Amino acid sequence: MSGGVAVRLNKADSPHIFEGIMKIRLETEGKNAGTVNYKGPDSAVLAVKYLNSIDADEVQINIVQDDGTRAFAEFEGEFLAVSAVKFIESVLPADPAAQEPSFSQGTAYPESNLTLKERLEMFLRFEFSRAWFSSLDVKTRYETIYGNIGLSTVSTYLARMHRDNVLEKRGNRINREYRFRDITGALNNIEQLPVK
């Protein structure tokens, strides 16, 4: 996948995702242009596996559930795989026992071939796409996914992202918070996509 992102959807982590899905159709544009159809209880896993194995510029996803519910989305850009998998999970039946989506368990983040800055920016776009956040918020959440990171490291990267006009900030040095200037970024549109 372009952008070096590998996303995994695991049946053991989210068994509710594998119930109720009937068909997934993926249409890709770019180097591996084509159409792939999956049917049955493992269709979500197979679709994600396929998305991770190709290099695509754009992907369209059509989902038809057993109850006849249909969903459609189209993705392009840097975090295409993450957005596509988040969409697949968002239209599937919810697990009443789950407190958070499975993505917060470390399944939707990039492989180690990304730099710390790239990984941190992608992490922020995914975890804090619309909210204000502090350096401590980022450190705490980041450590649940990747492991230890220094608060000064987080603060430095957030300050650099602000300097580069990626983030806006508010508050004084003690109560400083950031959020993305670009609220139409790659992962932020996902809830606004038309679902047919």
Q: Do the domain assignments include residue 57? A: yes
Q: Do the domain assignments include residue 1? A: no
Query: Which residue type, as a one-letter code, is found at position 109?
Result: Y
Q: What is the pLDDT of residues 50-83, one digit of tens each?
A: 777 777 788 899 988 888 888 888 888 766 777 7
Can you tell me the distance from the alpha carbon of 27 to that of 70, in angstroms, rounded to the nearest whole number?
16
Q: What is the pLDDT of residues 145-175, one digit of tens each?
A: 778 889 999 999 999 999 988 899 999 988 9
Q: Do the domain assignments include residue 30? A: yes
pLDDT at 6 over 50: no
Residues 24 and 80 in one domain: yes
Residues 71 and 121 in one domain: no
pLDDT at 26 over 80: yes
Q: How confident is the model at residue 177 (pLDDT cuts 50, 70, 90)?
A: very high
Q: How confident is the model at residue 99 (pLDDT cuts 50, 70, 90)?
A: very low
pLDDT, residue 106, reads 42
Tokens representing residue 52 in the block: 């991770």
pLDDT at 133 over 50: yes
pLDDT at 36 over 90: no
Which residue range forms the structural domain that includes residue 137?
109-180
Q: Do the domain assignments include residue 34? A: yes
Tell me the Cα Rg of the chain.
Answer: 17
pLDDT, residue 20, reads 54
pLDDT at 134 over 60: yes
Residues 66 and 131 in one domain: no
Can you tell me the distance from the alpha carbon of 176 to that of 158, in angstroms, rounded to the nearest whole number?
10
Considering the chain, what percentage of its residues have pLDDT values greater than 70? 68
Domain count, the chain: 2
Q: Do the domain assignments include residue 7? A: no
Count of CB atoms situated within 10 Å of the CB of 38: 20
Can you tell me the distance from the alpha carbon of 147 to that of 33, in angstroms, rounded to the nearest whole number?
37
Q: Do the domain assignments include residue 6? A: no
pLDDT, residue 155, reads 92
Residues 92 and 22 in one domain: yes
What DSSP letter does each residue of the chain carry, written as one string?
A: -TTS------TTT-GGGGSSEEEEEEEEESTT-EEEEEESTTHHHHHHHHHHHS--SEEEEEEEETTS-EEEEEEESTTHHHHHHHHHHHTSPP-TT-SS-GGGGTTSS--TTS-HHHHHHHHHHHHSSSS-B-HHHHHHHHHHHT----HHHHHHHHHHHHHTTSEEEES-SSS-EEEES-TTSTTTTGGGS---
